[in-house]
Structure 1
Amino acid sequence: MTLSEPLFVMEGISKRYGGVVALKDADIAVRSGAIHAVLGENGAGKSTLIKIMAGVVAPDEGRMLLDGKEISFSSPAAANVAGIVCVFQELSLIPDLSVADNIAISKPPLRFGMIDRRKQRQIAEEALARAGASDIHPSSLVKDLPLSRRQIVEIAKALARKPRLMILDEATSALSQADVERIFGVLKRLRAEGLALIYISHRMHEISELADDCTVFRNGRSIESYKAGTKTDQQVIELMIGREYTSVFPPKPEQRKDRPPILSCRDLSWDGRLSGISFDLKPGEIVGIGGLDGQGQRELLLALFGVLRDVKGGIEVDGRRVTLRSPRDAKSDAIAMALIPEDRKTEGLLLPMTVRENLSIAALDRVSSRGVIDRALEERQIDDLLKLLAIKAATIDMPAAALSGGNQQKVVIAKWLMNQPRIILLNDPTRGIDVGTKQEIYVLLQRLADAGAAIIFYSTDYAELIGCCDRALVMYDGRIVRELAGAEITEQELVGGALNIGAHQAQQRIAR
């Protein structure tokens, strides 16, 4: 088989869940030795497509071909045997086991009926090296690794199965820039070795750098396949959303300088990870938090929301000193703070519970009296939020797990808006969601700011900090090393602060 012939083909694939059509007559052909990007908004059918490829669900109609022969998979294990392995956006690792245990968990090497620990470690070391992560120790517990390193272990786990076709679903969404570049190198090497790769990402620059072929999905249908580089980003986005794509970021209103701060931090420090953090946040202002991943941004948001213990320094709200011992203190009426967490699946939602229950859970005291929920009031507030955030749900009594990733993220945001917060903390809220939903969130943030909310917005995407924020605080090694405002918020300044170097040196790095 030559590299130009398809290794894996799906023709006329359809899948329904009750009355909901997830896929309709979908087609895709994947070549060996090529990276095939699958593009589309959340809810376009991408997740269902790869679940069918990986043997998680069976199609209702259509057929799949591997090496020109028709196949079907009764389970993910059957797909693995055929050489098809998927790295899902939601991690499948067991936190309390070691990296080596996780990598070899589906088929551990045995010796005299017992796990051969030496061989298992060797398998893990080889897989980690192939994933460009030799610095991760096989004996490390997964729970002790940051989210970005866990994602790399997930990729190593897939490579240990020696796949012919590897599917990566938002596999870089949790990675630092350094890790992303490392993974890019790994994927390019795997492509050169003849592996077929399906790559799903909402980051257009990643698609431009990696992809050889692209297929766009919209509303469960495959709209168009094309060679990478033959369409502009604007054209691709318009194929994805089915309409002309206007400006990504809403215009920023002129800031009123006479407003007193609603939130002030004074010399905030914690456990060696935060040191001397001081800043003010005014009503109607969106302040971005930048810097490389793992420089204390997450800890800062957790400290402000009362999650961390023994935080040193002072926090003032409306000019008076407050003590935040718990999230309950932070979300009280006197402070009215909300935190949109980093990982919607594990920190933001109770996936088996309904959309209704997830939306109400943080505001039960607002929709109940003497322990009894006022269902009419609850439904009015939920209906208002569904309309405000354009949440697509067949019914509010469906489980949150059944929503697309973008709609799940909207539910996380809506849940906290039920409390009518004055101060909103966002931890990388657009990670792993599509461009259309991102744009809706940008517009929502500006509307909340226009209504008087004060917003702290941590993002790993420089374009978001530039496009959304009135000011940006760049963190390095637990400190704020640079404060930028207005036209000062540029890629050069953000990169310079992130690397703790001058803007001229940052410009030279960008140019390279």
Structure 2
Amino acid sequence: MTEPDRPAVGGTPLLEMHGIVKTFPGVRALDGVDLDVRAGEVHCLLGQNGAGKSTLIKVLAGAHQPDAGRITWRGEEVTLGSPQAAMSLGIATIYQELDLVSGLTVADNIFLGREQSRFGITRPAAANKAASRLLARLGHPEIRPTAEVGSLPAASQQMVSIARALSQDAKLIVMDEPSAVLDNEEVERLFAVVRDLTANDVAVVYISHRLEEIRQVGDRITVLKDGRTVATGLPARETPTREVITLMTGRDIEYVFPERRAEVGRDEAPLLEVEGLGLRGSFADVSFSVRPGEILGLAGLVGAGRSEILETVFGARRATTGTVRVGGKKLRNGDVGSTVAAGVGLAPEERKSQALLLGDSVYRNISISSLARFARGGFLARGAERSAAQELTRSLDVRPADVDREVRTLSGGNQQKVVLARWLLRDCRVLLLDEPTRGVDVGARSEIYALVRDLADRGVAVVVVSSEIPEVLGLADRVLVIADGAVVAEERADALDEHRVLDLVMEGTAHRGTPVATMQHEGDVA
């Protein structure tokens, strides 16, 4: 990605937050945070999961009220008593967990609460037209204003959320992990929109765990650690990555992947075998095998069908064609229960909506797939259940170390560890990982990489999907390149680099010509 020159941004701060304190029961989430943002700048807010970033932006958005501290807007002290109060000043927030209403249309979501009307009568045609203009500005004219938001892929939903912020004529836009579900081309479009906004004196607070993005789009950096500001005003381009990581973690961390074993499982029979698998409208004729102790990576662009392949292997989607075998035994098509019983686990991309019971305890989220082992005379042995969960949370260093805590209160990296602990408890033989480090900070990433490699060293067959090509290449032993729902190449990971993978994707797309979504699949599952 290119890095165009950005003019220096100066002048009086548009927003100042001084000594912000916010306490929840048993947790001091913010302990005197300072932040100032200038008009026309991209101010990057960094920190590990649990550092206080999410709490701070909720204070800025009016969703949380601070216990102490003051906020000034254009030099005047203000009280942001509600989200409406923040929006009235021109502060818009795009959360990482998108707050869209799935049953409403794209246009309805963009203008929700600010419906286009005349003489008290809503004007859907005007709303649709205005929504089309906003989406075209974002480089996504193909998103229909009349489409139901719940039917759109995650990347398109992210664009709808950004369009909603643009529609509010905001003077400051907070973007929390906006690129997490976008491919490289979509990230470039996002950066173009950000540069267009700042050129018109709109300020952007940008949160991302992808440090390379900070250099491309940011002007200044503020780093939070343990609810405190440990550095602010750092130049985004000039500050060394090592310095930023040390500020975030309090220690030096090398962004290093665990060492691969030589010739993994060469003499062993495949543990997972996928043959001729197809899902109408998503992918076709996908075949691969994974041996015990091997990590197979699926690389490709967002929308290539990688997640759908994992979900179909797991039985969450009913395959149109093909077979899946574990240990030589054919799995029942579209049956999650029998797949789990065969020793297959899935950590899905959307862990909050698809993997976790957010209102339930950490220990129950870990034990949920293994409840039968804790059954005693028709009742659950809760002590044994909690004890097993405590042992796993200690070994995985889940923080806070409280298995009775609601899992919703954990950071993204610790929530991911809870999902992995669930399958460790079940002693799964095959582990499917979809975006395992999405929304996870650099420190927790290293821990998750080490955990995945340790599982492979114990003989687990691992399949990993990631939108970050360096992550696939660094973690996997072997890589399948996916384009338009088809396997276009298979190589050892150490024989590839990021540019070669992208070349293979482009070549595969050109050769296939017709998108898989328009193809006809014949036959039934064998």
Q: Does 1:227 align with 2:235?
A: yes
Q: Give 1:237's aligned residue.
A: 245
SS in 1 for 2:302: coil
Match among 132, 157, 166 for residue 139 of structure 2: 132
The one-letter code of the counterpart of 1:261 is P
Residue identity in the other structure for 2:326: V
CA contact (8 A) 2:394 2:401 kept: no
Partners of 1:310 and 1:432 lie apart in 2 by: 30
Measured against aligned partners, the alpha-carbon deviations of 1:119-154 in whole angstroms (never above 9, x if no partner) come to 222332233233332221111111121110000100
**Alignment partner, residue 364 of structure 1:** 371
**Is 2:307 aligned against 1:298?**
yes
Residue 387, structure 1, aligned to residue 369, structure 2: no
1:9 matched to 2:33? The reply is no
CA displacement 1:333-361 (0-9 Å, x = unmatched): xx200010110121111212222222222
Q: Does 1:77 align with 2:61?
A: no
Unaligned runs of 5+ in 1: 503-512
Following superposition of structure 1 onto structure 2, how do residues 31-42 of structure 1 map, counting pairs within 5 Å? 31-42=38-49
Q: Following the alignment from structure 2 to structure 1, what is the Cα–Cα distance between the partners of residues 506 and 395?
A: 38
**TM-score normalised by length of structure 2:** 0.92
Instruction: Tell which deviates more after alignment, 360-369 or 88-97.
Output: 360-369
SS at structure 2 position matched to 1:362: helix
**Structure-2 residue corresponding to 1:115:** 122
Worse overlay, 410-419 or 193-202:
410-419
Query: Match of 1:285?
Result: 294
Partner AA of 1:339 in structure 2: L
Letter in 1 for 2:350: D
Aligned to 2:350: 343
The equivalences for 1:297-316 within 5 A come to: 297-316=306-325
Q: Secondary structure at the match of 1:90?
A: coil
| Contact 1:15–1:21 (8 Å) recurs in 2 | yes
Q: Distance in 2 between matches of 1:235 and 1:302?
A: 39
CA contact (8 A) 1:473 1:482 kept: yes
- Measure, in 1, the Cα distance between the counterparts of 2:129 and 2:333: 47
C-alpha distance in structure 1 between counterparts of 2:52 and 2:319, whole Å = 46
Counterpart code for 1:293: V
The whole-number CA distance in structure 2 between the counterparts of 1:325 and 1:164 is: 48
Q: Is the 8 A contact 1:366 1:419 kept in 2?
A: no
Further displaced range: 129-138 or 261-270: 129-138
Cα distance in structure 1, aligned partners of 2:329 and 2:508: 36
- 1:274 and 1:135 mapped to 2: Cα distance? 21
Q: Which amino acid aligns with 2:235?
A: K
The equivalent residue for 1:205 is 212
Letter aligned with residue 258 of structure 1: D
Aligned to 1:24: 31
1:326 aligns with 2:335: yes
Give the 3-state SS of the residue equivalent to 1:417 in structure 2: helix
What does residue 43 of structure 1 align with? 50
- Secondary structure class of the residue paired with 1:189: helix
Secondary structure of the residue aligned to 1:191 is helix
2:517 equivalent in structure 1:
none
Report the alpha carbon displacement of residue 501 of structure 1 after superposing the two structures with TM.
5.8
SS in 2 for 1:500: helix
TM-score scaled to structure 1, two decimals? 0.94
User: Does the 8 Å CA contact 1:303/1:311 hold for their aligned counterparts?
Assistant: no
8 Å contact 1:216–1:222 — kept in the other structure? yes
SS in 2 for 1:415: helix
User: Any gaps of 5 or more consecutive residues in structure 2?
Assistant: 1-8, 510-526
**Counterparts in 2 of 1:452 and 1:58: CA distance versus 1, 3 Å:** same
**Local SS of the residue matching 1:183:** helix
Of residues 136, 157, 162 in structure 2, which corresponds to 1:150? 157
Structure 2: distance between partners of 1:314 and 1:388: 36
**In the alignment, what sits opposite 2:465?**
458
| Corresponding residue to 2:267 among 258, 266, 276 | 258
Aligned letter for 2:360? M
**Segment drifting more, 381-390 vs 111-120:** 111-120
| Distance (Å, rounded) in 2 between the aligned partners of 1:294 and 1:129 | 20
Instruction: Give me the whole-angstrom Cα distance separating, in 1, the residues matched to 2:281 and 2:128.
Output: 33
Report deviation, 1:391.
1.0
Q: CA deviation at 1:272?
A: 4.0
8 Å Cα contact 2:363-2:390 kept in structure 1: no
**What's the offset of the Cα at 1:495?**
1.2
> How far apart are residue 65 of structure 1 and its match?
0.7
Moved over 6 A (4+): none
Letter of the structure 1 residue corresponding to residue 469 of structure 2:
Y
Using the TM superposition, give the Cα deviation of residue 324 of structure 1 relative to its aligned residue in structure 2, in angstroms: 3.5
Structure 2 counterparts to residues 432-471 of structure 1, below 5 A: 432-471=439-478
Segment drifting more, 239-248 vs 22-31: 239-248
What SS is found at the alignment partner of 1:331? helix
Amino acid across the alignment from 1:322: L
Letter in 2 for 1:285: E
**2:246 maps to amino acid:** E
Distance 1:371 1:115, change over 3 A: farther
Give the AA of the match of 1:242.
G
Tell me the distance in 1 between the aligned counterparts of 2:25 and 2:312: 44
1:478 corresponds to 2:517: no
Alignment-derived partner of residue 402 in structure 1: 409
Which whole-Å CA distance do the structure 2 matches of 1:278 and 1:394 have between them? 41
Give 3-state SS (helix, strand or coil) of 1:158's partner. Answer: helix
- Taking a change above 3 Å as real, the CA distance of residues 88 and 272 of structure 1, as seen in their structure-2 partners, is closer
1:301 counterpart SS class: helix
3-state SS of paired residue (1:181):
helix
Name the counterpart of 1:505: none
How high is the sequence identity, in percent, across the aligned residues? 39
In the alignment, is residue 498 of structure 1 matched against residue 482 of structure 2?
no
For 2:466 and 2:371, the matched residues in 1 are separated by 30
Corresponding residue number in structure 2 for 1:86: 93
- Residue 418 (structure 1) shift: 2.1
Contact 2:393 2:401 in 1 (8 A): no
Letter in structure 1 aligned against 2:155: S
Name 1:376's counterpart in structure 2: 383
Tell me, in whole angstroms, the C-alpha distance in 2 between the residues paired with 1:340 and 1:123. Answer: 39
**1:15 Cα shift?**
1.0
Match of 1:509 in 2: none
Distance 1:363 1:489 in 2: 39
The answer as to whether partners of 1:263 and 1:282 remain within 8 angstroms in 2 is yes
Distance in 2, matches of 1:318 and 1:295, equals: 28
CA distance in 2, matches of 1:499, 1:371: 56
